[in-house]
Amino acid sequence: MLLYGVVARTQKSFDGLPALAEITHHQLVVATALASNKVLFFAGLLHDILKPLLKFKKSTGGWQWHHLDGLEVDNTKANLEKIFKQGLSSILSENDIELLTQLILQHHQRDAVRYNPIAFAENDRSGLGIAIMEATLFPKKNLEHMGLYTCIEAKGLIHPYHFFVLTLIYQGIKYYLNKVYSEIFSSQGLTKLIVEYNFGSEKLPEIRYDNGNSVLTIRYYIPSTLFKDWKVSHEYEGEASFNIKEIEAKNIKIYHSWSDILTLLVPSLSINGLAYKVLCVIPRIITYGDKGIIIDGNAISSFVNRARKIVDNVLAEIQEHVRLDSSYDEVLLRYVEGTEQGNFKCIFCGKRTDREVKLSRGKLLSERFTDYHRIQAGVSVCPLCHVGFSYEELLRNQGPAFYLPLPCEISSIDIADDFKQKYLTYGACPINPKEGVVLSVLGLSTMQLMSNAWYMSLLKEIDRRSPLPSWIKPYTLRAQKDVNEFYVKFLINRKIVIYPLIVKIRPKALISSYGGENKKFVLNTEILEGHTLWRGSELDVTEEHLDVLEALTTTLKYSAYKKVYGKLVSLYGLRE
Amino acid sequence: MVSENNQDLDSLAIEFLRLINDIIPWRDLPNEVKRDKWRILAKRVMASSGGDIQEFLHNIVKSIAGDSFYVTRGEEGKEERCRLGERLEEYLKEVKKKVKDIGKEEELINYIKSRAIPLVIRLSAEKGET
């Protein structure tokens, strides 16, 4: 089981339908929109810091999640100003801290959307409404009016190669935008954010700002008997990529880049059917001062220009590494966006293309290619499939596995028993997953991180053997010595806690190639979905199989986990 | 965790493999087989078939050990020897009793065959022979 964090919101519908949004992610999204000055930025990062205490009360209007001043915590009344003065005095003046406290305390007042920038950022009716990305996958509002920029809208993807190329582009955009976010946050005094979740007793959160290194640490105490003594730390920074490490028993560290939260690949509806959008949160969009709250058009256009340049660079970089025609930079974008032209037909996907690609021996399909039953009649290859095929070849030659995590599916969702117990007297729980969970833009990114987390328990990053675009990372199966009880248990039971939600996931990934053999017999690129979680030469690992192994997770001793993992790899013949 | 509907099947399946593991005279088999016993067991379970659970068991044992098998075996921590024939009889009774709830024996056979690898991994962990 992986303890990941704490929920950020519930929906009023269906008696408290949960949303897969994590509290730090929510605060980071709001803070990004407010990153036009230090006070606003830190107010965004800290505006809900009492929420992880999970103090719900039922009133006539339904459940209220109390999280502002006056909240009684461990028999004392919470005083936010005191917490901020203790933690932020090395970066903000006394006046600034007073303003920050005031902004946070006001953000749920009636009509706050008119005068409070946090409320403005969150409110979808009269404000920006960026927080609505946690509540729905298809917001009614135009995404750009919500503070989200669409880097690319992909349409008409009909082959695994198409989705593979789109995901490569997304990873590239994410990588470079992370640097942009990092630069903007650094200019506001934040190079690293550390969030610690300490499960056990009820205590007020603590904040510490390290002026020398520009690091903000937020320490939450979550009242939970079920997960008593567990500690989970998140680290967010410009250079990090997603990873999970067990520091010691019941102490997990999870590394994120800023972009893991702020750059998203989501499905969307278009008149031509399902499309995909690469979205990102526009930083510094809200300014606040004497003239009140203003949406800053200059900040939007300056960010959009940078994002456009990033898209161009990523497309060029993708093309350079497989040395295709340099005109592919532009053509690739057209094909991703659903345009096709020409009279040649692609042998992989059937799309039309205006250029001829030689397929015969010694050309694209070498004499080693045998997967003829998976190609169609045709005389050429469309640019998307050409890039996909070439990358598959390139990555397989690098070996070992190359995978891109996709948002997981949710197999089951439950509420932690200790949380339910607290509300027994009410006869109902403030969070009710009976009808499942809200699928939302931010929820999909959480589900992607969940998938990623699961694959990290099976795979580890290896040093690249030859030049690849900077964001492409080859992985290999963990060796027996690299696993521990935490990884193996999580690999088997696939449960993630966003307290109080306990979610069992069905991980998904796009596999470009498995490594190990420098030859091409078959097309490798595929989406692992449904019940297959990883391919094996003897048998694929499926959900049902891991369910059978779950009986072991309560009985095994620490050292036996490595051996179980070794057996799993050898008996299934798991592919590297 | 195995779903509630499959709990009975799961406990019968793991007991089935325990029984097979005890019946097969691994000690008397060639070193190559002994070294790779769990893989061989998993593969034989996946490849074998049977009209009922007894025939399925017979076919698996035969495919690994030919006509030799144990009828008694010393039990860990106990002085007396366990009579495997008796255990098999008890097991078959248990299967018959539960067949009413779980459907046909065929369902149990399918469960064992389709989940042979994880069941074998569980057994090997239980035996401490991973």
Lowest mean pLDDT among A370-374, A441-445, A509-513, B47-51: A370-374
Return the pLDDT at A229: 96
Residues of A in contact with B120 (CB under 8 A): 571
Q: Would you state the pLDDT for residue A213?
A: 95
Q: Which tens digit of pLDDT belongs to each residue from A330-354?
A: 788 888 888 888 889 998 888 898 8
Q: What is the pLDDT of residue A375?
A: 78
Instruction: Report how far apart, in Å, the C-alpha atoms of A97 and of each of A49, A85, A92, A416 are.
Output: 15, 7, 6, 36
More confident residue, A529 or A103: A103
3-state helix, strand, coil in chain A (%, to 5): 40, 25, 35
Distance CA A426, CA B24 (A): 59
Q: Kindly report, residue by residue over A134-165, the tens digit of the pLDDT.
A: 999 888 889 989 999 999 999 989 888 999 99
Give, for A18, the enclosing helix (H) or strand (E): strand A17-18
What pLDDT does A476 receive?
83
Three-state SS at A321: helix
Return the higher-pLDDT residue of A27 and A516: A27
Give mean pLDDT, residues A212-234: 96
Q: Which of A96-100, A227-231, A363-367, A516-520 has the lowest mean pLDDT?
A: A516-520
φ and ψ at A361, to 5 degrees? -45, 135
Write the pLDDT tens digit of every residue in B49-88.
Answer: 998 888 999 999 888 887 776 666 776 666 666 777 778 8
Read off the pLDDT of each residue in A269-278 and give the average, rounded to a whole number.
85
Judged by CB atoms closer than 8 Å, whether chains meet at B1 and A550 is answered as: yes
Contact A545 B118 (CB under 8 A): yes
A564 contacts in chain B (CB < 8 Å): 121, 125, 130
In this predicted structure, what is the pLDDT of residue A517?
54
Report the distance separating Cα B52 and Cα A56, nearest Å. Answer: 57
Mean pLDDT value across residues A94-120: 95
pLDDT in tens, A378-431: 778 899 999 998 888 888 777 677 888 899 999 999 999 999 999 888 888 899
CA–CA separation, A3 and A6 (whole Å): 9
Tell me the per-residue pLDDT of A477-517, one tens digit each, with 9 for 90 and over. 899 999 999 999 999 999 999 999 999 999 998 887 776 55
Residue ranges per domain, chain B? 4-123
A403 CB-contact burial (10 Å; exposed 0-12 / middle 13-18 / buried 19+): buried
CA-based nearest residue to A386, from A409, A368, A363: A363
Q: Which of residues 501-540 of A touch B (CB under 8 A)?
A: 538-539
Residue A548 and residue B3: Cβ atoms within 8 Å?
A: no
pLDDT for A191 equals 97
Calculate how close chain A gets to B10, using CA atoms only, in Å. 8
Chain A residues touching residue B122 (CB < 8 angstroms): 548-549, 551-552
In the DSSP assignment, the letter for residue A7 is B
Token pair, residue A394, equals 């390139």
User: Which one has a higher pLDDT value, A254 or B104?
Assistant: A254
Per-residue pLDDT tens digits for A127-136: 999 999 999 9
Q: Do A144 and A129 contact (CB within 8 A), yes or no?
A: no
By C-alpha distance, the chain B residue nearest A539 is B117
Q: Give me the residue from B2, B121, B128 closest to A568, CB to CB.
A: B121
Q: Which residues contact B21 (CB under 8 A, 6 or more apart)?
A: B41, B123, B127
Distance (Å) from the alpha carbon of A507 to chain B's nearest alpha carbon = 16
Q: For A80-100, what is the mean pLDDT?
A: 96
Check pLDDT > 70 for residue A521.
no
Neighbours of A446 (CB within 10 A): 26
Contacts of B128 in chain A (CB under 8 A): 560
Q: Which of B1, B3, B130 is nearest residue A560 as measured by Cβ atoms?
A: B130
Residues of A in contact with B47 (CB under 8 A): none
pLDDT at res. A465 = 61
Q: Does B114 touch chain A (CB under 8 A)?
A: yes
**Other Cβ atoms closer than 10 A to B81:** 12
**In 3-state terms, chain B is what percent helix, strand and coil (to 5)?**
70, 5, 25
Q: Residues with Cβ < 8 Å from A130, sequence gap 6 or more?
A: A29, A30, A33, A121, A122, A146, A147, A148, A281
Question: What's the distance, Cα to Cα, between the start and end of chain A in Å?
Answer: 24
What DSSP element (H or E) covers A4? strand A2-6
Percent over 70 (pLDDT), chain A: 95
Spatial separation of the C-alpha atoms in residues A502 and A508, rounded to whole Å: 19
pLDDT tens, residue by residue, B3-49: 666 788 899 999 999 989 888 888 888 899 889 999 999 999 999 99
Tell me the H-state helices in A94-146: 94-106, 112-115, 117-122
Write down the pLDDT at residue A367: 65
> Does A281 score more than 90 pLDDT?
yes
A550 in contact with chain B, both atoms CB, cutoff 8 A? yes
Per-residue confidence (pLDDT) for residue A362, from 0 to 100 = 66
Beta strands A62-66; A231-237: pairing state: unpaired
- Interface predicted TM-score (ipTM) of this complex, two decimals: 0.88
Q: Is A71 helix (H, G, I), strand (E, B) or coil?
A: coil
What residues have CB less than 8 Å from A462, skipping those under 6 apart? A400, A474, A475, A476
Please, what is the average pLDDT of chain A? Answer: 90
pLDDT at A526 over 80: no
First to last CA, chain B: 21
Structure tokens of A204? 């007020």
User: Taking CB atoms and an 8 Å limit, are A570 and B42 in contact across chains?
Assistant: no
* Average pLDDT score over residue span A466-486: 85
Q: What is the pLDDT of residue B103?
A: 65
pLDDT greater than 90 at residue A434: no
| Torsion from C-alpha of A319, A324, A325, A328, nearest 10 degrees | -40
